[in-house]
Structures are given as structure tokens and as C-alpha cells.
Structure 1
């Protein structure tokens, strides 16, 4: 082995701590960079693999009058496989709203994932949603009974299994319903022949040429929407034809009755002309005629065919899952990059310091006649070895572990078929940055050192000259300091590069920990602030009959008060941009302000003005609208231009507020209240379900939604990020510790002669330790303070990247985040102080003092 190579291995052996520290810092940076960047794609890929394996349909069609063979033929567009299914919403055991499907062995789409038991084989068997087992305590072998209104061949079925479904990927959400309490609680499958339906009510459509596309990719969404548009065009005409066919088939009986009535009436009219008293019979016939006309009108309503199209994005929980993985991807574009930059910066400094310490060796080899390349390549190999080992370990551990940890902890979704691909591009980027930080540093410093002659290199580098620092000019303060403190403060400013690196390291660690807490707190705050500061009600009831709804409410013990509003939805346009699904709220009276607080950014209460509207903040941002601008609104097929009076704070959803006068001038009619905002006492889950059920059955309500459920949804959204946030905080803490330890190590090794000198002069071990640690304490405090500011800025940037079209995440970091970040940094400083103390106790003073000879 050549002398230079031997020397390199000896250097690694002598300074194992530093070599390992470089590897660890690089590994941590790469681990979180690659791991977190892999988490979002892995979540999407895993769900994609699950839905492809279980053949989830790309488009579902529901019809109010069912589907015939002709409909299946029309739906069979290019590359489409079409399957008909029987489906309806019914009320099952314990009064739960159930999405009920007919099980058909021939069907090959939306395959159930059996979790326990088996699929139905006999007419009296049923397989239930796994939630029936985990949430409602049903067991295999028990009976599941349906209400008579379900209109099935049997009322009770034997439970033979529990399953998950690719149509319901989220464990809680099952969609809304027009039966029960208005919310679907379970899905279930009974044999197809048990459904008393003459025709199928659902078409499942799957396209062969789309199965190789990721379900969350833009190309897939564009392709599905294109197919959906084709189907919508085809079924526009079909809806009219189907309605006419059904009406004509059914009205013949009614027409025969009409003819009989007309004949009877004409006979009675003749009798009346002849002087007979037939008024009572005529009245009866007129009454029958009214009933017949009503029956004809009802028949028109019953035979009116409409189709509902939905893609995978419309399925319960699907969009929420996609948004959750998008948020992780957005976080991954910022947080790990910042983490990795800190790691790279510290690594660069460590390698720089290592080569600067080897000046005398470089000078010796240069004096012995070795070429610049021969001398420098060993340092390159040292840096390359550390960089490669750190990158490979970090990339492999990060890619293998983090996505799987996240997938395992995503318990609010069905168990997925994991699909974790190695992120080669991300790993390559990480390798490039790692080599820039290690080999790049080595190249710069070695080149700089080799520019000097052998004699200059073999002599110690001249120490930096001392200068007066700012604190020395403050005489009352400076004169009261001890000698040791004066030395520490002078050293802080004397070695500015080390001071800045330590502050950057500590600030980076603090900021990363704070950002972890900040992301978690801020996402949760969107719901807390929306339903605490903006919306001050507990439920929203949409109704066809305000009086009947109020009567049911007044009989309920939890009911306190309500505010009536006219609510509708529409679109808003400005400068070529548009926002869909905007809620238009028109209050009935001034009580509205007790239920929804309209306030601007300065917390000033806003009032609704005539011929002007108030927009919510997110919509205004999307449309680039400010107070005083004019916008166009479209609802009920008409477009109107209106001025914006103010922008109100809002965190979830899009809302447009206008008073009755503005509504009248815009739409030419008075708004009719169709929605109630409710103040309710605290309710249990059963009480909420009971009230919603009563309003649906007796109060002519179209549906009831509780703010409790919406807050729970946001809470789940927050909890879904907990695994990632916990990993961030843990790894940020480890990085901070390694950084502090490494920089302290560099500090000690650079000043070993200085420390040996003061030890020889009689300083006690504790005094020698404090000589170094006192600087660390000051720098840690400064780093923590800077970290607070950087943490807030980094959190704000990530939240802006992670925000969705409907949600604003307000920057919120609770005191816990600051306390944990501060305490961790103090603990790390104490641990490093103890390690340094042990190291300084065993300094070879004589060897250090004569090292320059």
C-alpha cells in the first residue's frame, strides 16, 4: 500500500468519530430527502395497485329508472367493459342507512376484499362492511335485519363474512343518503335475486386502455373525463327516450280509466239535461278525474329519467386520500430539501476543517516530491467514501422504511396492497448534492492549500489576530465579567465562520422541529378556527318545508335556536378565472350574525350592503379579487355582474354572502329560505343521528349536516399526517444532535493546543470544559431564537404549498412546539457538554503542545 493511501486509512482510524459523523449527517439528510419524497408516490401507487387488482370501475352510472339492455349497448363505447348491478339505499339493523348491492358471481368489477368469513352462497346469506364488525359489533353467524321499506325477498339474512371494498377506501366515510339519518353507515351485499328490482340501477364501466395509468395522474383524470363526456352526450337523448317509453307504457291504463270517466260524465250530463238530479254522481266523477290527473302528473315524475355520472374521484374518501398524499408531496418538496441543505452545509464545513488540520501532512508530502494530484486524490477518496456510504445507507433506509411506516400508520383507510418503488431520480439528486458537499469541499480546500509552498504548509497556520469586540466597548458590562467569560466572548467573534455554522446548525434543527409541530397544528387549526371563529352553529338543515322542520326541532330537547337563510350553489368568475361549487348565502334577518361571523383580516365586523356581495378569502385569492372589484356570478343558469364590498376570513370552503335586496335586484325575485343554521346543546352521536332521522322523516328535511362531523373529517386529515410529522421531529432532533456534536468536536480539535496551554497553566477540568461549552451555550441560545423565526417562515411556506383549492391552513404553532424544540436543544447541548468534558479530561497536553515542532 502506498504511503499516501496508508496515511488516509490511518486518518480514518484516528478520527473515526469525525468520519462516522460525516456519514451520519449525509445519511440523515439523504434518508429524509429520499424517504419523504418517496412517501407521497408510494401512497398513490399503493392505492392504485389496490384498485387495479380489485378492478374498481372507472365510471359509475346511476339511473332513476334503471338500465335496460339497450342502455348497456349505448354505454359500451370503445375499450369499455360494462356491467349492470342492482343497487339501492335502504335502512338496516339498528336503523342504519345501508348501501345495498346485489352480489353476482358473473360480475368482475369492484371486487370485494374479504377480511373474514366468505362471500354469500345461499339466498339467505349476506356479507357486510367490515365497519359492521369493528364499529357496530356484528359477528359472523348473527342475523342482519332490514326494514320492511327495503323491499327485499327476505327481511333477515345470516352474516357469513366481512369485507372491504375499493369503492369505499376510507374506513369512516360511506357517503350521504336519502334514508335513515341521511348518512350511509355501511355497505352490504346480498344475492342478486334477493333485490326486488326489475332492472339494474347501476352501470359499472371500466376501460382497458386506462388500467396502466396511475389513478391519481393528470393523464388518467383527463382520459376519464373525456370518456365521461362521451357517455354524457350519448345519454342526453337516451334520457328523453327512456322517459317517454316508460310514460307511454304506463299511461295506457290511466287513459282507459280517463275514457271511462269521460263516457260516464257525458251520460250524467245528458241525464242532468233531462231534469234528473245527478249532482252527487258528477261530484264523485270530478273528484275521480282530479285524482286521475294527479296520477298522470305523478307518473310523469316517476318515469322521468335522469342519470348521475361519477368517477373514482367522486367515491367516498377517494379525493381526501389523494389530497393527503398531495400534502405529503408538497411537504416533501420543501422540508426534506431544507433538512438536506443543513446536512450538506455541516458536512462541507467538517470536510473543510479536516483538510485544514492536515496542512503539515500536505506540506510534508509536497516536500517529498508527490504531485498535487497524488496528494489531493486521497482526500477526494476520503470524502467520496464518506459521501457514498452515507448516500447509499440513507437512500436505501429512507426508501425502504419511511413509505412503509406511513402506509402502516394510515389506519383510517382500508389495508392497501403496498407498492413502494425505489426513487432513482431522487436518490441520484441526493448523491449529487452529497458529493458536492464532500468531494466538492475537498476539491476547493485542497486546491487552496496546495497553492502554498511546502515550508509554509509545514508551519502552523498563523492564528487570527485578536480585535476588540463590541461588548468590550460597553465598559460597565465588560469590566464586571470574569477572565473566562471575556475569553469566551472574544473567541465567539474571533472564529466567525464557526459561530455562524453553529448558529445555522442549531437554528436549522430548531426550525425543523418547530415546522413539524407547525404543520400539524396549522392543519388542525383550519377546522378549529372555521367552526370556532367563523361558523358559530352546530348543524345545517336543508328543507322543503320550513314550518314542518321547525316543528320537529322545537320538540327536540337539544334545540336552542335557528336562523333561516336561502342557500344555493353557483359559479364565480373574474379575469378569466372561475371557482365552482360556491355556496351563496342570503340571510332572512339580522340574527344571521350570531351564527356566521363575517370579519376581515383586522377582525373588523363586516355588514352586507345593497347591490354588493362579500367573498371568502380563498376564493378571492384564486380569482385575484379585492374589495371594490366587480365579479360575475352564475346560478340557476343565469349570469350576473356584481360589486364586491369586502373579503371575509374563511378557512374551509367557498362562500358568497348577499342580502335580500341584492338577491332581489340580481335574480328578480325574493329569496325563499330553504336552510336553517342551528344552535344546539351538546349532543351524543345517537342524539345527532336521531334528530337527523326525525327531520328526514317528519320535518320534510332534505338532509342534515353537523359541524361535529366536518371537524372530525379535518381531525382525521390532521392525524393522517401525524406519522410523517413524528418522523420529521425525530430525525430533526437526531440531526441537531449530530451537528452540535460535530461542530464541538471541530472546535476542540482546532484549539487543542490552546486548551492544553490553559490546562498546563492550572485550570481545573470543569473550567477547561466551560471554556468551550460557554461558547456553545451562547450559540445555542442564539440558534434557538433564530430557529423560531426560520421555523415560522418555513411552516408558512409549506402550508402555502400544501393548501388545497377549498382549504386555507392558518399559520399556527402552539406553545408545545416551542417548548419541545427548546428543551431538545438544551438536552443536546448538555449531552455534548458531558461528552466534551470526558474528552478534555484525557487530553495529551505534552503531545498537543509540541505538535507544531
Structure 2
């Protein structure tokens, strides 16, 4: 039986190879894409652990002392390290720089040295690697800071370039309250070179969390709980820290007051002495009056200074977890999106491969009826006969699984990780996804061994005499087209035969249609994923959001001054004052955090800045006094619709019940919109107009950096500037990151489609060899014999392609739904190019298969094929 098995494999090497390739491709994509999301996470996790990225950072406007460090470390497992940090202006283009004081040795957030060395002197600087790439800085160059940086020296010698685990995304360095509002680089100088009396930030890490998956829900939940405990500890220190700050100036003022009182007493005594000496006639002198006046002015000044000191508030803290670092959330969303896609696309891909394999194995065993009958007649048992065919199927299946698992688990994730060039990632960390491999083994064995067993058991029930005779051909039946005489009579003989065969072999035709439709759908889905994700940014930032920048004033009464500053520029078009506030909303036990509420000063003008349109029926929505309009994703998350009531809570923990008067189309972020009358009525206070939505004529990246810098330098009342273009760039970046994965989908789908077509065509020829030999004997030319088969293939291909278009839209819609995040909606979008490429590939594959068929049919041994077993 083993010899027979080897002979069968050699005799049908093309079919055996096709089965191996189909299983291999299915497993490769299934296992590979399943492993890619975890590989991205593990690779980043390895990098941040290696360089001891802190779990939490806290910044204070009043600085930190050793007592604050001790307070933080009272939280179980917390290890704290204080650093000096500030945003400053520097460099050739006078940009915002995130400047850190370098401690030796640094226990947390260790820099990743790319060239040169660390600073050793107070006039040396370690610079962001992007400064070398973008602005051409070199080791040995001078880097100058503005005087406003308030450093001990302003000129530094560049001694090295580095990456930092705090900035994993090379395309962004975060925002700042100086310069253009966008950080261009980070830099490190010696800690003592920063002219600050105390540290301004604390890095905090937890040893037990360092090896937890930073992107997992478990890690994020634990960190939120830890931050609350840390906040409690530092809140206890607020008043104490304020007293420490005011103690020194108050002591100085008290000493000054004592000296002033003594001076006053001396003047009083001097006046009394003069009066006594003059017999009560002289009451004062011009000199003493002058001194007394000076003391009065000093007293007023001391009172002013005392009031100023007494107005010093308790420290305010800014908390930052890994999730808040520039690029960190984007990276996590990207890996999560790939993981979500892996739950759908590769599964469909693998099921298609398994279906075709099942059909191939089934047909293979059915073709071997004669051999099964011979073995049975010779006395071989049913289990011995089953052994040969199940082993054939097993070898093909297991070989495909082994090769596919290895290539999928190692090659595909490694390739994708290598394409994430804008992220700071070290060596890829790839772990075998044994769960996915186990699923792949089970499915592959069902498709191969299962199919073989199913047919062998069925066939071996028959007696040898029945098995040794070929199956009776199906009876020809009159087809529907024959009843339409004006069409039927215009068809030639070959065309009539082809149409009859299509209806005669319905199962074979259905399998071909499914194969082609599946391949077309997979290719179309690859394009659809890319198109849908890129369409998100275009729709959100060109059709929904119609303003170009958001400018925030430090105080509401400064907004008009800010507006006047911005309006002086040539790029200015118009602006709208709004109240912005962050809320969380709850309904049906679901809570959504970080919802932006916008309350425009003029609700009629608001329509020029934001498009409010019903997400289902597309009719315009308008702000009213009795409720809020919410974004689509928020409505979906809370399971609410127009007319529902939701509970909202702001950062001051003020809770209100509000009515939803509309659900607006929105693709990025969670928003609520309300009128000033709604806010006044609901919150029992006036909205604070502190933000401007600004429309500009030109907003190129270079232009916006220049504008932002001009505005901030011209008006100290501006708290911050953000541009919509930057948000759009982040969404575009998201689609680019998925580009390599989508390309792999398209390529492998194309290869699978070709192999499926080739395999189905082989089955078709093998089953109909006697029929084809018969028409060759009857005198048909080779080209006519080829067209006899090809005509059926072309018709089935056209039906399959059209069916694939519909299936592709359904599959794309399902995949992008799975890939959505809590704040992003992907609209179903497949551009015409996707349909064109899918169609062209299928046509090319069919033409190649037709050519291969033509060559094979020319070499058919008609005498051998027409031999009778009777």
C-alpha cells in the first residue's frame, strides 16, 4: 500500500502539489495574520522593557521635592525618579524643543543612543535623531537655545543623536505651549545645566507591570487604578508643598516687615526727640518726612508682595501614562486593527482554500473507483484501502500545514514589523501562535483526511463489480434556454453543447463559481480595506470638519484679543467662538469617556464650520435648546437613538440627564453639540467662550507651522494652537501602516485564485477525459476542443466575478466593522480601481488556465482514454 501510495503521488504530482499549495496558502495567511498583531505588540513591549519606559509620568507647575518622591513610593510597587523637564525654544528655526535633564545613571526612560555619546559636560547636548535627518545637524555642530529658555548657557555642542522610548513614533513629538505649539525635537543636557531649583516631573514605574502587554486591557485597567492611588498621595501633599513654596518669601517679607517697623519706630523716636529739644515748637523736619514717606511706600510694596505670595495656589498636576505618549495609542490601534481583521479575512480565505481542497480530494477518490474495486477484489480490507487515500490526503495536508505555519508565523509578521519604519522598534519578537496553528491543523485535516475518509467509506460499501465499471454518465435534459427558440436556433453546435453541459454538471459549475467569486471577493476586500480606511480621513476632515485650526485662549476675556491677532494674517478667512468641554456619557450600563462637547456662540454660523447631518437619512440637523446632537459612534456605543435620554458628567463630576435630538454622521472621535441656551438651561451657568474655530485660505504643513509660531509669539494670551491637518495626517498614517498587510492580502488572494482555477480545471478535464477524447476522435480540431471546455470556464468566470463583487462588498463591510475602534468609523468604500484589478486578474488567470488546458488537451492519448473496463 505504501508503494502504491508513492506511485499515486508521482502519477498525480500536479494535483498533489496543488493541494499542498492551497492548504499552505490558507494556513500561511490564517496563521501569519493572526500572529502579526501580537508580534507588533511583543516587539514594542520588548523595546520599552529594554529601555525601562516608565508606566506613569506626572508634571507639576510647582516642582517636586524628595518628600513628593516618598509620597509617590508609598503606593505599593511604585519606583519614582525625579527629572528636570521644560519646553523651550531653540535650533536653527527657533522651534519648540522638549528639553530633559540627563541623570547618570538614569533608571527609567533610558535614551537609545544611535550615534556619538552621552553629554559629559554642562555645555554638551544629546539631540533627537530626527534633528539629524530633517535639519542636517551633525556631531560637533553648535545648538543654540533662546534666552527665554533660561538655561545656564545657551550654546551647546552636539555630541550624539538618539531615539527615546518616550517618542516611539518618528512622525510626531507631541504638542507644547511654546513656539509653533508642536514639538519638533527632544534633547538631553546634563541635569545641573537646566536652571531650575527643583525637578518638574516624576517618572514612575511598577516592576510587576513591566512585562505585561502594554496594549492589553488588563494593563490599562491596572494603570488607571494605580494613577488614582498616586493622585491620592500627591493630593495629600498639595497644601504642604504650597506652604514649602511660600515659606521662604513669607519669612523674607516678615523680616522686611520687622525692619520696617523698627525704622518706623526710630522715626517716631527721632520726631519725639526733636520736639522735646525745641520745647514743643518743632514737630517735624523735611528729612524725617521724606524717610517716613519712603517707609509708607515700602509698606505698600510689602503688602502687595504679601498678597502676591498669599495668592500662590496649591500645585496642579498633569498625569501621563504610556497611552498618552506621542504615537503610542496609534501604534496600539494599528496592531489591534490587524488583529481584528485577522478574525475575519484570513478565516474566509482559509475556508475557501479548505472548500476547494475538500472538493479536490473528493473528486480524486471518486476517480479511483476502478483501483478501489481492484483492491477490494484482491481481498484488501476496507481499512487498508482507506489507508492509501487518507495517507495521500494526510501527507498533502500536513505538508501544507507545516510549510504554511512556519512561513506564516515567521515570514509574514517579520515583514510587517519591518515595514513599521516610522516607529522605534528593535529586533522583531515573533512567538509561535500555537492556538492558531492547532486550529489550522484541525481544519486542514477535515478538508483533506475528512474528505478522503468520507468518500472511501462510501465507495468501499459497493461490490467490486460495480466499482470496476465506470459511473453511468448523467442523462442529458432539456434546458430552459432551449425553450427560447429565437436564441437557441442562432447558437452553433459547440455553443449548445457548452450550455447543456453547464446545466448538466451543476455541482462542478457551482464549485467553479464559488472559487472565482471567493478569489474576486478576497482581492476586492483587500482594496476595500485600504480604501475604506483612507476614506475616513477624507470624509471627516473635508466634509464634516470645515475649519482648519483650533486656537485656545488662556482666559475667556482674552479671546477677542486672540481673534484680532489671528485676523491680521493674510490667510485668515473667518472664525467662530465656542465653548469646549470634556464629558463622559452613560446609558444601558455602557460608559464612553473623553467626549468633546462644542457649544458655538452663534448656532447659525456653526453650520459653516461643522456639518451636522443625520447618519442614516442624510437630512440636515440643527442645534436646539432642548437637547444635544451626538456623533454616530457614540450613539452606537451607548445603544441610543434620536429621542433617547443619556446621562452626562463633566470633569467636575457634575451629572445631568440630557435628551438626544439627533445623531450626526461622524467618522473620527466622539462629539456632542449643543446650543448656548441648552447649556445655560442644563448646566445652570453661562458657557465659557475660550476657543476659536478658524478657517484659513492655505494650510500647508510648512505654512501652518509658520502661522502657529507667529500667533504664539505675537500674543501671550494664546494657550495653544492645533491644526486639523495634523489630525488628518494621523488617520492617513493609520491607513499607510495597514498598506503592507493589505498588499499581502491582495497578492496571496491572487495566488490562491489562480491555484483554485487551475485545480478546478484539472478536475474538470480528468472527469471528462472520455468525453473530450470522443469529440477529438469525431474530428474536432484542437482549438475547438479547447473552446469546448474554455467556453464553459469563461461563462462561469463571468458569473463568478459578478458574484465576487457582491460577496466582496459584504466581506469588506464585515471586516471594517471588526477593524473599527471606539472612536473611528470606517465607511464602506471600494474605488473603481479595486473592481478593475480584481476583474483583470481573474481574466488573466482564466486565460493562463485556458492556455495550459489547450496544451494538455493536445497531448491526450485518445486510445487510452477510450478503453473500456467492461
How many positions carry a matched residue from both structures?
A: 847
Shift of 1:491: 1.1
Q: Cα gap change, 1:276/1:764 in structure 2, threshold over 3 Å: closer, same or farther?
A: farther
Please give the secondary structure, in 2, of the residue aligned with 1:651.
Answer: coil
Q: Cα gap change, 1:851/1:276 in structure 2, threshold over 3 Å: closer, same or farther?
A: farther
1:249 aligns with 2:248: yes
Partner of 1:570: 583
Shift of 1:227: 2.5
- The question of whether the paired residues in 2 share the 8 Å contact of 1:174 and 1:186 is answered with yes
1:451 aligns with 2:461: yes
Partner of 1:15: 12
- The CA distance in 2 between the partners of 1:473 and 1:280, in whole Å, is 125
Partner of 1:76: 73
Please give the secondary structure, in 2, of the residue aligned with 1:784.
Answer: helix
1:776 aligns with 2:803: no
Deviations, residues 441-472 of structure 1 (Å, cap 9, x unaligned): 00000011111110010000011112222222
Shift of 1:259: 6.7
Partner of 1:438: 448
- The question of whether the paired residues in 2 share the 8 Å contact of 1:239 and 1:307 is answered with no
- The question of whether the paired residues in 2 share the 8 Å contact of 1:246 and 1:303 is answered with no
Please give the secondary structure, in 1, of the residue aligned with 2:473.
Answer: coil
Partner of 1:739: 756
Which of 561, 575, 598 aligns to 1:585? It is 598
Q: Greater CA deviation, 205-214 or 285-294?
A: 285-294
1:167 aligns with 2:162: no
1:594 aligns with 2:604: no
Partner of 1:226: 225
Partner of 2:818: 801
The alignment's C-alpha RMSD in Å is: 2.3
Which of 684, 707, 721 aligns to 1:704? It is 721
Partner of 1:109: 108
Which of 661, 670, 677 aligns to 2:693? It is 677
Partner of 1:749: 766
Partner of 1:315: 325
Shift of 1:719: 0.4
Please give the secondary structure, in 1, of the residue aligned with 2:478.
Answer: coil
Partner of 1:843: 860
Partner of 2:506: 496
Deviations, residues 607-636 of structure 1 (Å, cap 9, x unaligned): 111222111111111111111111222224
Q: Greater CA deviation, 66-75 or 379-388?
A: 66-75
Which of 533, 536, 552 aligns to 1:523? It is 533
Q: Cα gap change, 1:791/1:261 in structure 2, threshold over 3 Å: closer, same or farther?
A: farther
Deviations, residues 473-514 of structure 1 (Å, cap 9, x unaligned): 222222221111111111112111111111111111111111
Shift of 1:216: 2.2
Please give the secondary structure, in 2, of the residue aligned with 1:615.
Answer: strand
- The CA distance in 2 between the partners of 1:283 and 1:518, in whole Å, is 83
Partner of 1:649: 665
- The CA distance in 1 between the partners of 2:306 and 2:695, in whole Å, is 42
Which of 624, 627, 631 aligns to 1:612? It is 627
- The question of whether the paired residues in 1 share the 8 Å contact of 2:178 and 2:712 is answered with yes
Deviations, residues 328-386 of structure 1 (Å, cap 9, x unaligned): 00011111110000000000000000000000110111111111111111001100000
Q: Cα gap change, 1:509/1:296 in structure 2, threshold over 3 Å: closer, same or farther?
A: farther
Shift of 1:146: 0.6
1:823 aligns with 2:840: yes
- The question of whether the paired residues in 1 share the 8 Å contact of 2:699 and 2:725 is answered with no
Deviations, residues 155-194 of structure 1 (Å, cap 9, x unaligned): 1111111111111111122111111111111111111121
Partner of 1:724: 741
- The question of whether the paired residues in 1 share the 8 Å contact of 2:595 and 2:672 is answered with yes
Q: Cα gap change, 1:578/1:279 in structure 2, threshold over 3 Å: closer, same or farther?
A: farther
Which of 803, 827, 832 aligns to 1:810? It is 827
Partner of 2:136: 137
Deviations, residues 744-798 of structure 1 (Å, cap 9, x unaligned): 0100110011011111111111111111111111111111111111111111111
- Aligned residue runs from structure 1 range 268-347, under 5 A: 295-300=305-310, 302=312, 304-347=314-357
- Aligned residue runs from structure 1 range 80-91, under 5 A: 80-91=78-89
Shift of 1:419: 0.6
Please give the secondary structure, in 2, of the residue aligned with 1:362.
Answer: helix
Shift of 1:281: 10
- The CA distance in 2 between the partners of 1:91 and 1:626, in whole Å, is 48
Shift of 1:308: 2.4
Please give the secondary structure, in 1, of the residue aligned with 2:692.
Answer: strand
- The CA distance in 1 between the partners of 2:90 and 2:437, in whole Å, is 52
Partner of 2:90: 92
- The CA distance in 1 between the partners of 2:175 and 2:304, in whole Å, is 31
Q: Cα gap change, 1:300/1:131 in structure 2, threshold over 3 Å: closer, same or farther?
A: farther
- The CA distance in 1 between the partners of 2:297 and 2:391, in whole Å, is 102
Shift of 1:81: 2.6
Q: Cα gap change, 1:52/1:812 in structure 2, threshold over 3 Å: closer, same or farther?
A: same
Shift of 1:256: 4.9
Partner of 2:276: none
- The question of whether the paired residues in 1 share the 8 Å contact of 2:518 and 2:804 is answered with yes
Please give the secondary structure, in 2, of the residue aligned with 1:135.
Answer: helix
Partner of 2:370: 360
Shift of 1:844: 0.6
- Aligned residue runs from structure 1 range 450-489, under 5 A: 450-489=460-499
Shift of 1:223: 2.9
Gaps of 5+ in 1: none
Q: Greater CA deviation, 665-674 or 539-548?
A: 665-674
- The question of whether the paired residues in 1 share the 8 Å contact of 2:44 and 2:425 is answered with no
Partner of 2:280: none
Q: Cα gap change, 1:276/1:617 in structure 2, threshold over 3 Å: closer, same or farther?
A: farther
Deviations, residues 703-754 of structure 1 (Å, cap 9, x unaligned): 1111111111111111000010000000000000000000001001100110
Which of 39, 48, 65 aligns to 1:42? It is 39
Shift of 1:286: 8.4
